[in-house]
């Protein structure tokens, strides 16, 4: 995802000198191309994220489209008050990019796990929150963020994520992307777990259970229409995110569904428990630990569907 992001940003920045990249001394092997080709549009703010956000606001209020770039929680929670008071309150044209969403930096430990960021960014007025599901969504989301006036949080994974979308589609901020349909249940997924969701649906299909998958890259503004439409088609809805089950996609979808008055047979949030990860492990391993791999997801959905059939 980070490659798709930086390539897209670099190409756009060559055409538009208002685009700037401000990094917090991170991006080894990623941001050098931008720094070398467009030094006048690049700044390394050092390990000083609060100042990074402040200066991004100063640049943005002077007419620039500013992308701040760092990893995990450094560009978000560490400088949250600057994002709240300076970026969001001033509706500044600052795009905050975090690499390493969820458990991407597995063995580096909890300091490098971004698992509360979506909930926290989502509650800030003026903030748009996007967690693309694959490199295709990442490139399109980057282009959309450039065009969108105002604050955006772009939450990415790391490198070498598989391309999930094989067909072309129209990407719009605030619009869900249907991946496949299924009558028994719907799985709404945000971010890098898109691949696991699609695999889970394939596993379930071989077991005779049809699950629709909807990619929801934009958490805010949430595609309310798509959520309500899905609830008309299937009465079992699951949400899936590499994030705490509190306040992220699951919370956002639950808010819509409960207020709509729609009665479902089942609504379940799949995500990280309200607890810290205290063991080392690769992202793949940690996803299994937390039940966020395709097999675990399939098992949960299958159990719910079969329970309903009894």
Which residue, among 59, 53, 55, has the nearest Cα to 75 in the 3D structure?
Answer: 53
Q: Is residue 25 a contact residue for other proteins (CB under 8 A)? A: no
To other proteins, the closest distance from the beta carbon of 215 in angstroms equals 35
Q: Which of 57, 152, 245, 257 binds other proteins (CB under 8 A)?
A: 57
H or E element that contains 122: helix 117-122
- Decide if residue 59 touches other proteins (CB under 8 A): yes
Q: How far apart are CA 167 and CA 118, in angstroms?
A: 27
From the CB of 79, what's the least distance to other proteins, in Å? 9
C-alpha 121/C-alpha 119 separation (Å) is 6
**CA 51, CA 43: separation in Å to the nearest integer?**
12
| Piece of 83-91, 200-208, 219-227, 243-251 that binds other proteins (CB under 8 A) | 83-91
* Selected binder of other proteins within 60, 118, 197, 199 (CB under 8 A): 60
Provide, rounded to whole angstroms, the least separation between the CB of residue 40 and other proteins.
6
Least separation, in Å, of the C-beta of 91 and other proteins?
10
Contact segment (CB under 8 A) with other proteins among 78-86, 196-204, 211-219, 277-285 equals 78-86
In the complex with other proteins, the residue whose CB is nearer, 22 or 140, is 22
Please state, in angstroms and rounded to a whole number, the distance separating the CA atoms of residues 183 and 157: 30
Please identify which residue in 78, 86, 95, 133 interacts with other proteins, judged by CB under 8 A.
Answer: 86
Please report, for residues 53, 245, 259, 295, the alpha-carbon distance to residue 77 in angstroms, rounded to integers and kept in the order given. 12, 18, 30, 32
Question: Could you give the CA distance from residue 174 to residue 167 in angstroms, rounded to a whole number?
Answer: 20
Q: Name the nearest CA neighbour of 193 among 153, 145, 250.
A: 250
Q: Does 63 bind other proteins (CB under 8 A)?
A: yes
Q: Where are the beta strands (DSSP E) in 72-110?
A: 94-99
Tokens of 206: 């071989």
62 interacts with other proteins by CB under 8 A: yes
What's the token pair of residue 78? 């560490």
What's the order of all strands across the beta sheet hosting 266-272? 177-183, 211-215, 185-189, 236-244, 266-272
Nearer to other proteins, 15 or 62 (CB): 62
Cβ closest to other proteins, residue 56 vs residue 145: 56
Instruction: Please identify, among the stretches 84-92, 122-130, 136-144, 224-232, the one whose residues bind other proteins according to the rule CB under 8 A.
Output: 84-92
Three-state SS at 153: strand
Sketch the per residue contact string, 113 through 152, with other proteins: x for CB under 8 A, - otherwise: ----------------------------------------
Residue nearer to other proteins on the CB measure, 51 or 143: 51
Confirm or reject binding of residue 54 to other proteins (CB under 8 A).
Answer: yes
How many Å is the Cα radius of gyration of the chain? 19
Residues that bind other proteins (CB under 8 A): 40, 43, 45-46, 48, 50-51, 53-64, 81-82, 85-86, 89-90
């Amino acid at each position: 995802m980070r490659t798709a992001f930086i390539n897209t940003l670099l190409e756009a920045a060559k055409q538009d000198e208002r685009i700037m990249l401000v990094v917090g001394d991170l991006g080894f092997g990623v941001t050098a191309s931008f720094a070398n080709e467009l030094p006048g549009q690049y700044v390394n703010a050092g390990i000083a994220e609060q100042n990074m956000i402040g200066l991004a606001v100063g640049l943005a209020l002077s007419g620039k489209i500013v992308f701040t770039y760092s990893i995990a929680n450094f560009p978000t929670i560490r400088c949250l008050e600057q994002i709240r008071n300076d970026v969001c309150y001033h509706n500044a044209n600052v795009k905050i990019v975090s690499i390493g969403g969820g458990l991407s930096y597995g063995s580096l430990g909890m300091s490098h796990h971004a698992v509360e960021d979506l909930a926290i960014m989502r509650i800030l007025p003026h903030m748009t929150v996007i967690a693309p599901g694959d490199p295709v969504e990442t490139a399109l989301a980057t282009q959309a963020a450039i065009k969108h006036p105002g604050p955006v949080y772009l939450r990415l994974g790391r490198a070498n994520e598989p391309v999930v979308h094989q067909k072309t589609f129209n990407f719009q901020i605030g619009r869900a992307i249907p991946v496949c349909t299924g009558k028994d249940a719907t799985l709404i997924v945000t971010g890098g777990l898109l691949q696991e969701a699609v695999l889970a649906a394939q596993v379930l299909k071989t077991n005779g259970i049809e699950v629709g998958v909807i990619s929801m890259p934009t958490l805010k503004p949430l595609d309310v229409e798509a959520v309500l439409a899905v609830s008309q088609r299937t009465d079992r809805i699951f949400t899936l995110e590499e994030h705490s089950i509190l306040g992220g996609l699951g919370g956002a979808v639950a808010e819509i569904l409960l207020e709509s008055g729609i009665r479902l047979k089942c609504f379940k949030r799949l995500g990280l428990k309200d607890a810290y990860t205290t063991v080392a492990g690769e992202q793949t391993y940690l996803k299994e630990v937390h039940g966020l791999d395709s097999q675990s997801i399939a098992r949960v959905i299958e159990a719910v569907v079969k329970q309903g059939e009894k």
